[in-house]
Amino acid sequence: MLALVAEANRLAGRIHPILLDSIGDLVRSMNCYYSNLIEGHDTHPRDIDRALANDFSTEPKKRDLQKEAVAHIHVQRLIDTGRDPDAWPASAAYASWLHEEFCSRLPPEMLFVADEKTGARLEIVPGEWRKRDVQVGRHIPPPHEDLPQFMSRFDMAYGSPPLSKARQLQAVGAVHHRLLWIHPFLDGNGRVARLMSHALFKRLEVGTSLWSVARGLARDEARYKELLAQADRPREGDLDGRGNLTQRGLLEFCKFFLDRSVDQIRFMSGLLDPATLLTRIEIHIEEEVRAKRLHKGSFAVLREAVMRGEVERSQIPTLTGYEERGARNVTAGLVDRGMLTAATHRAPLRLAFPVDVAERWFPNLYPANAGSRT
């Protein structure tokens, strides 16, 4: 537990506050990619980038997956920027809000699932508990008519727990499992649970827009799902807790969940170390300059953006050694490549991370075969 808090504090201290927004955009796209990957939707990071720029595929299936990605990123941005409800994230009300915000932005075709037995099309109503019984693999969630009772118990256990911060952090994995076990929605429970975990970490002041547990879960997906299933088992004797479900299985899942969280904080902390980040950027920019795709002096501008969070346009002649016109050419090249962005044509310039740049500056952020799962 101490490792989680210490690593989170160390990560938060590595980055200039202004740069947090740009990194946050990158991590939200990454989180969306991995959370959807766990659900079997392997949307290529470049397609996510295009969708965020309102550039959607003409292929219906790919376009729907792009819109799904945009919906996920929208909800996480609300969480990251404090525009989510005041309700405690581990609550029925917050779960319903997450589901409604996400599903209401999906294309109509994605708001249906097929009944496994009859093949009938079943409508998903954003934010509403399911109105039929379901089976998820071997797991049979509670009957739909009992959902209000189970979600009320969920609120009592986790909604406003009189626990220390350390105990609440330990309980994030338990919240994650218990919501999935209840399976309150017809579909979308996995994404809701992972977004809820993200929001919980943020409220407990270890989560930020700089890291995401979804990457850790997706990279060990088989173990993630195996431990979730183990925690579904009934209690095994008097020494296995006091409830109906196994306490040992739940504790093992909670340990795995926290381990994956610490691992992802450490991963991002390594990527965001200023010295090593600048080295990777410099190597990349030197290659681009030699290939005449960028102007000399480009790295000096990017280095300033990393160290200070943003670059005033008036500084660029000094940074590059060029007169006004040459400095504008450097700026234009970096903006055209998506490496710098600004709110207006006169506003300070900030770093941006299109996918082709992110692959060089942040190696291993995405798997090498991203977008290839069918």
Task: In whole angstroms, give the CA distance from residue 197 to residue 31.
Answer: 12
Residue 6, CA atoms < 13 Å, CB-side half-sphere: 3
Distances (CA, A) of 292 to 59, 67, 88, 124, 286: 35, 36, 52, 52, 10
Cβ-contact 70, 105 below 8 angstroms: yes
Give backbone dihedrals phi and psi of 178, rounded to 5 degrees, phi first.
-65, -35
DSSP track, 101-160: HHHTTS-GGGGEEE-TTT--EEE--TTPPPSS---BTTB-PPPGGGHHHHHHHHIIIIIS
What domain count does the chain have?
2
**Which residue numbers belong to the known binding site for ATP?**
136-139, 187-194
Active site residues: 183
Burial class of residue 70, CB neighbours in 10 A (0-12, 13-18, 19+): middle
Q: Is residue 366 part of a domain?
A: no
373 within a domain of the structure (yes/no): no
Read off the CATH number of the domain in which 317 is found: 1.10.10.10
Q: Give the domain extent around 335.
A: 274-361
The reply to whether 349 and 226 lie within a common domain is: no
Which of 353, 212, 347, 342 is closest to 277 using CA atoms? 353
Structural domain ending residue among the three candidates 249, 271, 293: 271
What number of other Cβ atoms are within 10 A of residue 261's Cβ?
26
Average pLDDT of each block of 10 consecutive residues along the chain (374 residues)? 76 83 93 96 94 96 96 97 95 98 96 86 96 91 97 89 80 96 97 97 90 95 96 70 76 96 94 94 98 97 95 96 95 97 94 93 90 61
Q: How many CA atoms lie within 13 A of 76 on its CB side?
A: 34
Query: What separation in angstroms does the CA of 93 have from each of 99, 199, 365?
Result: 10, 13, 33
Angle at 170 between CA 169 and CA 172, to 5 degrees: 65
Please tell me the predicted confidence (pLDDT) of residue 323. Answer: 94
DSSP letters along 29-93, please?
HHHHHHHHHHTT----HHHHHHHHTT---SSHHHHHHHHHHHHHHHHHHHHHTT-S-SS-SSSHH
Domain boundary among 234, 251, 271: 271
Confidence (pLDDT) at 239: 52
Residue 34 sits in the same domain as residue 128: yes
- Helix 247-271 and helix 274-290, axial crossing angle in degrees, nearest 10: 50
Can you give 188-215 as a three-state secondary structure string?
CHHHHHHHHHHHHHHHCCCCCCCCCHHH
In this structure, are 224 and 104 located in the same domain? yes
Find the DSSP H helices in 206-315: 213-219, 221-231, 247-271, 274-290, 298-308
234 token code pair: 């009934």
- The annotation places the binding site at 136-139, 187-194
Type of residue found at 280:
R
Last residue in a domain, options 212, 240, 271: 271
Retrieve residue 94's tokens. 């917050």
pTM (2 d.p.):
0.92
Q: Residue 100 CA to chain centroid, in angstroms?
A: 18
In a domain, 367, yes or no: no
For 295, the 3-state DSSP assignment is coil
What type of residue is 102? F
Same-domain status, 40 and 165: yes
